[in-house]
Amino acid sequence: MKPERKTRVETEDEARALGLDIRHPQPPDEQCEFCGKALHHEGLFVMNTVVAWSPVAQRCDCQRAVEKWKAYDAEQERLKLEEERRQRFAREQERIDRLLKKSGISRRFQQRVFENFITDTSGRKEAYRVAKAYADNFDRHLEDGTGLYIEGTNGTGKTHIAAAIAMQLMTQRQRTVICKTSGGMMLDIKSAFDDESRTEAQILDVYKKVDLLIVDDLGKEQCTDWSISTLYSIINDRYEGMKPTIITTNYNSDDIVRALTPKGYDNLKAVAIISRLREVSEVLTMAWKDYRTGR
C-alpha cells in the first residue's frame, strides 16, 4: 500500500524547507481557548506552490478542546440530518400534492390546532392529552404502526383533534400526512381513470405509504362493492406494512360495519377493515354535547 501523498503544510517555515513557493502569507496563529496552544492555519500545496491557507485554524488536541469539537460535530451532524429530512419531506409532499392535486389539508383544516382546542371539560382534556401524546411520540408510532380510532357523537371535536395531530406532524416533524374522507379518497382514485399524468396505481401507492393517513368521518358515504374493496386494499396494506392510520367516525363498531357494507353484499370486508383498525389503534371515545349546538 502506497503512503498517502502529503498535500498540506503547517507553517511557512515548513513550506520553505520543502522548497515550496508561497502564493499568499499565512494567517496569524490562533490560540486554544483552553490550554493556550498555538494553532496554525494549514497550507494546501499543489505541485510546488502553496495555493491557499485554511481559513480555520487547526483543532487543539487537549481534552477540553476535543470534548468541545466532539459536541460541535455532533450538533452539525444533527442539523445536516434535519435539513436532509426537511428536503425529503418537501419532495415527498410535493409528489403527494401533485398526484392527489391536494392532500386534504385545507385552509379550514389548518386552523384546527392543539392551541385552540377547547379543554373545558374532563372529557375534552382527556381527548387533548391522548391526541397530543400521540403527536409528540409519533416516531414510535411510525415504528410500530399504531394509530388512533376516534369515535363519538357529532360536534365533539373529533376532526379538530385529528387535524391538530396532522398540523403538528407536518409543521414541526416534517412527516407526510393525508387527511380525507373515504369518499374523497375514492374520488381521487377515480379521477386518475381519465388523467394521463397519473395512474390509479400511483394514487393507491400514495395512500398506502404516506407516513400518516387520516380517514375523516368514516362511514358517512354510501359504499359500493368497488369502494369498500378499494378501502380494504388501502387499510390492509397499511396494516401489513405497519403504517399508522387515524380514523374519525360518528358510529359505534356495529353501526359502522353496517354503514360500510354495500347493499346486497356481505359485510366481510367491512368487518375486516374495522377489525384491523381497532387491533392496531388506541380507541378514543368523544361522546358529549355538540359544542356547535349545545345538544
Q: What is the pLDDT of residues 148-200, one digit of tens each?
A: 999 998 889 999 999 999 999 988 888 999 999 999 999 989 988 888 788 89
For residue 155 the three cell numbers come to: 360536534
> Does residue 23 form part of some domain?
yes
Q: Please tell me which residue, 6 or 258, carries the higher pLDDT value.
A: 258
Q: Please tell me which residue, 101 or 233, carries the higher pLDDT value.
A: 233
Do residue 188 and residue 257 come from a single domain? yes
> Does residue 77 form part of some domain?
no
pLDDT of residue 171: 86
Do residue 47 and residue 161 come from a single domain? no
> Does residue 184 form part of some domain?
yes
Do residue 160 and residue 44 come from a single domain? no
Do residue 31 and residue 102 come from a single domain? no
pLDDT of residue 295: 47
Number of domains in the chain: 2
Neighbour-count burial of 263, counting CB atoms closer than 10 A to its CB (0-12 exposed, 13-18 middle, 19+ buried): exposed
> Does residue 61 form part of some domain?
no
Do residue 39 and residue 93 come from a single domain? no
Neighbour-count burial of 220, counting CB atoms closer than 10 A to its CB (0-12 exposed, 13-18 middle, 19+ buried): middle
For residues 248 and 218, the answer to whether their CB atoms sit within 8 Å is: yes
Do residue 159 and residue 273 come from a single domain? yes
> Does residue 172 form part of some domain?
yes
Report the distance separating Cα 276 and Cα 185, nearest Å: 19
For residues 127 and 161, the answer to whether their CB atoms sit within 8 Å is: yes
Write phi, then psi, for 212 (nearest 5 degrees): -140, 125
Do residue 115 and residue 230 come from a single domain? yes
The CATH number covering residue 186 comes to 3.40.50.300
Count CA atoms closer than 13 A to 143's CA, side-chain side: 4
For residue 239 the three cell numbers come to: 396494516
Do residue 48 and residue 161 come from a single domain? no
**Which among 148, 149, 163, 151 is positioned nearest to 116, based on CA atoms?**
163
Do residue 148 and residue 241 come from a single domain? yes
Residue 50, beta-bridge partner list: 22, 45
**Which among 63, 60, 68 is positioned nearest to 38, based on CA atoms?**
60
Q: Residue 80 carries which side chain, given as an amino acid letter?
A: K
Which domain, by its residues, includes 95?
83-286
Report the distance separating Cα 123 and Cα 133, nearest Å: 15
Q: What's the pTM value of the predicted model, to 2 decimals?
A: 0.75
